[in-house]
């Protein structure tokens, strides 16, 4: 599976990770490398990698993407370009990255040249007890004979554990919200969208809002976990939505308190915190997207005349 990594990603307040990466399915990797004779190879490296994970936890996709842009001057999408098959869905990828960031589901990897008992025991315990914590150590032992050097990798712990799944229904997603305002906004969005005759479905820890267009269930907008609502302006052209309808929707959303107008008018997937939307803001989000759907249907109907 294709993966991209950046070296020494600067995390404010946490220093630099040796490697920060993501694969094509949206799984996130934090890698730290230590030598056995380094005093940090024991307790300190555990605290260090957990500190990096704590910083990434609850970042938005855009903030995570910014780490790659700052280091490589390219977005994650640009770095993956040419490495993936044509059927790779960027939106599905960003949804999974978002869900992993919100739930703190990361692959933490410590690479050492020699394992010691204390480090192995700590990693084994955290891997066994952690809900969304995937902590491993990769031991790279170097063996030499005559003029030949052999590098032998060994993973610790070797056994795999099943990671509990997050919310699988819309109701469970709403109930999982720890912020009362965010929960209420999501509840209003779901209920309001359904009253308009549309559909919703759970996606990991988020919700996807769909509408019937010409007999096909089309994606319109979505929420990430129970914290953000995202517009999908970047993917709507691929679904056949006319550009002028997207621009009109952008202008409506840009006027909603909680969204950054500049980002709404320029970014492919602008977002707002659910907790920042009051009932009037939720109604405005529903109205803007429903207007888009109605005009989309009308444009397709006119094409048939």
Per-residue pLDDT tens digits for 145-175? 556 655 455 555 544 444 444 457 999 889 8
Annotate 149-172 with b (16+ C-beta within 10 A) or e (fewer): eeeeeeebbeeeeeeeebbeebee
What's the pTM? 0.60
The pair of three-digit structure tokens given for residue 275, joined into one six-digit string: 């907790």
* Cβ atoms of 16 and 8 closer than 8 Å: yes
Residue 130's CB: how many other CB atoms inside 10 A? Answer: 14
| Local structure of 162: helix, strand or coil | coil
Mean of pLDDT over the chain: 82
Are the beta carbons of 23 and 29 closer than 8 angstroms? Answer: yes
Q: What is the mean pLDDT of residues 252-271?
A: 92
Class of domain 170-304: alpha beta
Query: Could you tell me what percentage of the chain is helix, strand and coil, using 3-state DSSP and rounding each to the nearest 5?
Result: 45, 30, 30
The one-character DSSP state at 160 is: -
* Nearest alpha carbon to residue 53 among 17, 27, 98, 93: 17
Q: Are 77 and 90 in contact (CB under 8 A)?
A: yes
Distances (CA, A) of 138 to 35, 120, 158: 12, 10, 10
pLDDT tens, residue by residue, 43-74: 677 788 888 888 888 888 888 999 999 989 99
pLDDT in tens, 219-237: 999 997 678 898 999 889 9
Q: Where are the domains of the chain?
A: 3-156, 170-304
Which of 151 and 81 is assigned the larger pLDDT? 81
75-96: average pLDDT: 82
Return the structure tokens found at 83. Answer: 């490495």
CA dist 213 and 300 (Å) reads: 9
> Which of these, 167, 240, 180, lies nearest to 207 by C-alpha position?
167
Task: Let me know if 73 is exposed, middle or buried by CB neighbors in 10 A (0-12, 13-18, 19+).
Answer: exposed
CB 220 within 8 A of CB 211: yes
- With a pLDDT cut of 90, the percent of the chain lying above it is 40
């Amino acid at each position: 599976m294709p993966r991209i990594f950046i070296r020494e990603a600067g995390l404010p307040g946490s220093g630099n990770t040796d490697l920060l990466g993501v694969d094509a399915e949206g799984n996130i990797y934090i890698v730290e490398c230590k030598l056995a004779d380094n005093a940090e190879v024991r307790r300190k490296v555990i605290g260090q990698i957990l500190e990096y994970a704590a910083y990434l936890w609850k970042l938005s996709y855009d903030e995570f993407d910014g780490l790659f842009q700052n280091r490589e001057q390219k977005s994650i999408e640009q770095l993956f370009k040419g490495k993936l098959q044509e059927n790779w869905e960027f939106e599905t990828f960003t949804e999974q990255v978002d869900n992993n960031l919100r739930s703190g589901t990361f692959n933490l990897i410590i690479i050492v040249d020699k394992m010691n008992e204390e480090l192995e025991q700590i990693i084994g315990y955290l891997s066994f007890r952690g809900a969304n914590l995937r902590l491993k150590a990769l031991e790279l032992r170097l063996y030499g004979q005559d003029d030949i050097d052999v590098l032998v990798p060994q993973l610790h712990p070797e056994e795999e554990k099943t990671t509990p799944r997050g919310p699988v229904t819309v109701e469970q997603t709403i109930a999982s919200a720890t912020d009362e305002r965010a929960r209420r906004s999501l509840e209003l969005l779901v209920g309001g969208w359904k009253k308009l005759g549309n559909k919703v479905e759970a996606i990991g820890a988020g919700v996807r809002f769909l509408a019937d267009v010409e007999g096909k269930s089309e994606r319109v907008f979505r929420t990430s976990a129970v914290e953000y609502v995202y517009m999908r302006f970047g993917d709507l052209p691929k679904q056949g939505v006319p550009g002028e309808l997207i621009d009109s929707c952008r202008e409506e959303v840009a006027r909603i308190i909680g969204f950054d107008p500049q980002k709404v008018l320029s970014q492919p997937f602008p977002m707002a915190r659910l907790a920042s939307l009051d009932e009037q803001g939720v109604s405005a989000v529903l109205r803007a997207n429903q207007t888009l759907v109605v005009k989309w249907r009308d444009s397709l109907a006119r094409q048939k005349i």
